[in-house]
Structure 1
């Protein structure tokens, strides 16, 4: 039997056997009472994780579907795209492909989005929508969400869309308190579910905006989601297996406790950071703005990163990421999100030392 290669890449992350068991529960119909009861049962927990009293929606898509949907549902006058890595850069491209007037707020990869720069751009009056990735997975940068939200609070006519794909449920994010208008996440990161599913919530302000925007389409129309959720349904056929697995995962999360979960991610992240320093590597992300769920390691030692990753996989059956996009080989990424513990992360670090 071929040994299993365990994932320590920043998404998709390792999925537990218990989660897979929940994923394979018997199928139910998506227009019957069983499904309504399932959605109704998981909803309060989702609202708690989002920090919102707004409805939380289930999208059978990657998070990119909702990222594009946010542009199509909200953007009118102009979109300010906060760009600090591969995924935030791509959001700018997506906005332009949707025919929107989009402008970049670009910083070098590895740097964070400065709230003062956001304020300077918003003061021009050119924008009614801002896109922000909280935790830029390609570079390991965690942007200062609270500071940026305080700026947005001064511009009530501007909608803030926040991608929390690789930070959601690993750090505390209170959507309503922060004034976020669309908060979205994916299943395959800290939630440790199989990929292909996403969650999002929309503010009252954003719903009102969407009502005035033409050509929203159907599959990702926020108003369709709102109408169907009122009856505990989705606009189109969802991946019911994902929702069964999500129900199991929510029970697991709340059994551990949110504060304990956040603390566990902080501890495992600190272990990785200690290893980076001890091994003589540097961090790609600037100090003070580093992710709590993954670490982007700068290859200042000039090792062959692809060979390093290959040896780790062949000898120890552990998989790490050899860098994303234009920094492939110049960096490598180590994930500590999802179900990982101090024991499992320590094992990874011991194995890294062995092949280094």
Structure 2
């Protein structure tokens, strides 16, 4: 693949198949037409199947950062507990505070997950009516144990459970209804493998009912407004119709592959990259909580990450350096979305070759 269009092994955007790009090039339709409503209903139904939920799905033309705002502004009436395991969960706390919402950060060491015990201890104070958790923290390569966290959350049925699934949605099996997640949100440029600029979320009855009491929602992200139009199979404002075409095409591809096969493929790719990382370097995160969609590799002292990344790009492959304080210490390899095991093997072979070149 040429360097001017490298294959993407970065946290996002991820590699996009040509069939998705072709679908997004379809001629637009009016967003108040029956044809649009049919497209909307098909996409919503497909997303519900992927998420194993009967909750309403809201489709939004924005980044997932916008849905961070939507989640907290619609559900937090008292105080929010933001659980922080890396740069992006920390930013969700910053967004919460910037919205004028009372919130406290609860942080763990980089490379460690948010645990059910940590959340239980925090909620037992009775001070919070909402929690935010980033399921998969791409800055550190940590996937927090969502099922264990959900078991604790079941003890606090009046606390809104808000989950960022930006880099796990559609790649990792998460049964929204069984886990009783009130808001599960994601943008489409990661696990969904669609170009950036669009997001979606599932919203429970608790979250919608809480929205009726919230006074600080604005308009664009007001769950009541979104619900009003969703009942008509529409969006409040003109959406990115190309993204809906892309989602429709991607859902068809997902169901053709089969959800079980899709989830298995992601597990197998993750195991392969982790095995390579342990053999050649080392894993940065606690291995038992390593991400299924991205591997964060702790480099050896003799590897210049910037030169390594540049050389790979010249060969047609783009990986990511570490994020924030980990920039010079780690590099990250994505293995999600439409990437196949053959792509992973190809990248690992090229990385082996490149590392050896540096060490000669």
Note the 1:103-114 alignment, pairs <5 A.
103-114=104-115
CA contact (8 A) 2:182 2:206 kept: yes
CA contact (8 A) 2:3 2:316 kept: no
Cα deviation digits, residues 91-123 of structure 1 (max 9, x gap) = 111111111111111001111111111111101
Cα deviation digits, residues 240-287 of structure 1 (max 9, x gap) = 0000010000000000000000011111111111111221x1111102
Aligned equivalents of 1:38, 1:149: Cα separation in 2: 33
Residue in structure 2 matched with residue 155 of structure 1 by the alignment? 156
RMSD: 1.1
Distance of aligned partners of 1:161 and 1:345 in 2 relative to their CA distance in 1, 3 Å threshold: same
TM-aligned CA deviation for residue 43 of structure 1: 2.0
TM-aligned CA deviation for residue 3 of structure 1: 4.8
Residue in structure 1 matched with residue 316 of structure 2 by the alignment? 317
Residue in structure 2 matched with residue 305 of structure 1 by the alignment? 305
Aligned equivalents of 1:139, 1:215: Cα separation in 2: 32
3-state secondary structure, aligned to 2:321: coil
3-state secondary structure, aligned to 1:15: coil
Residue in structure 2 matched with residue 331 of structure 1 by the alignment? 330
Aligned equivalents of 1:13, 1:2: Cα separation in 2: 16
3-state secondary structure, aligned to 1:100: coil
Superposition misfits of 4+ residues, deviation over 6 angstroms: none
TM-aligned CA deviation for residue 301 of structure 1: 3.5
Note the 1:193-208 alignment, pairs <5 A.
193-208=194-209
| 1:50 has 2:51 as partner | yes
| Stretches of structure 2 lacking an aligned partner (at least 5 in a row) | 356-360
TM-aligned CA deviation for residue 177 of structure 1: 0.8
Aligned equivalents of 1:346, 1:329: Cα separation in 2: 25
Note the 1:62-81 alignment, pairs <5 A.
62-81=63-82
| 1:234 has 2:197 as partner | no
Aligned equivalents of 1:271, 1:117: Cα separation in 2: 31
Aligned equivalents of 2:278, 2:318: Cα separation in 1: 21
Note the 1:1-356 alignment, pairs <5 A.
3-279=4-280, 281-314=281-314, 316-356=315-355
3-state secondary structure, aligned to 1:248: helix
CA contact (8 A) 2:211 2:223 kept: yes
Aligned equivalents of 1:311, 1:2: Cα separation in 2: 10
TM-aligned CA deviation for residue 15 of structure 1: 0.8
CA contact (8 A) 2:3 2:317 kept: no
Residue in structure 1 matched with residue 358 of structure 2 by the alignment? none
TM-aligned CA deviation for residue 205 of structure 1: 0.8
Q: TM-score, normalised by structure 1?
A: 0.98
3-state secondary structure, aligned to 1:105: strand
| Stretches of structure 1 lacking an aligned partner (at least 5 in a row) | none
Q: TM-score, normalised by structure 2?
A: 0.96
Query: Greater CA deviation, 181-190 or 41-50?
Result: 41-50
TM-aligned CA deviation for residue 302 of structure 1: 4.2
TM-aligned CA deviation for residue 71 of structure 1: 1.1
TM-aligned CA deviation for residue 4 of structure 1: 2.3
Distance of aligned partners of 1:303 and 1:49 in 2 relative to their CA distance in 1, 3 Å threshold: same
Aligned equivalents of 1:300, 1:3: Cα separation in 2: 29
3-state secondary structure, aligned to 1:263: helix
